[in-house]
Amino acid sequence: MPTAQEWEDLIQAVTGMNPGDGIATSYLTQPGGFQAVLEGIYYQNDTWSFQTGEPTATMFWTSSLLSGKPLARGMNSINLSVARYAGSKANAFPVRCVKD
């Protein structure tokens, strides 16, 4: 599972900008690269949200902490940034695997 820094490295590599967080969703959802799929968010292990309609969204776990809570990176179809969220361990977010 990637650290917060590895997410930053991906965003910079894909967008060619430092920081590229503000527009990264438009790059990270395109074919030919990481290609994030905005298919919803599963909260508290019992509620799906943002899987249909507008906006669609997704969150990805990192192995880093934010304010003592697990850090997730979120994307949606309205705001093209890749935001940081201090999440609950009860949320069932996907992970991006990092190959050594």
Domain total of the chain: 1
Does residue 3 have a pLDDT over 90? yes
**CA distance linking residue 15 with residue 88, whole number of Å:** 29
34 part of a folded domain: yes
Q: Judge contact between 71 and 2, C-beta under 8 A.
A: no
Q: How many CB atoms lie within 10 A of CB 32?
A: 6
Structure confidence at residue 64 (pLDDT):
96
Q: Is residue 99 part of a domain?
A: no
Residue 95 placed within a domain: no
For residue range 60-90, what is the model confidence (pLDDT) as tens digits?
A: 999 999 889 999 999 888 888 888 989 888 8
For residue 7, how many other CB atoms are within 10 A of its CB? 23
Higher pLDDT, 95 or 20: 95
Can the peptide bond before residue 31 be classed as cis, meaning omega within 30 degrees of 0? Answer: no
Is position 93 within any domain?
no
- Find out whether 40 and 58 touch, Cβ atoms under 8 Å: yes
DSSP code of 74? E
| Inside any domain, residue 81 | yes
Structural domain including 14 reads: 4-86
Residue 98 belongs to some domain of the structure:
no
64 domain-assigned: yes
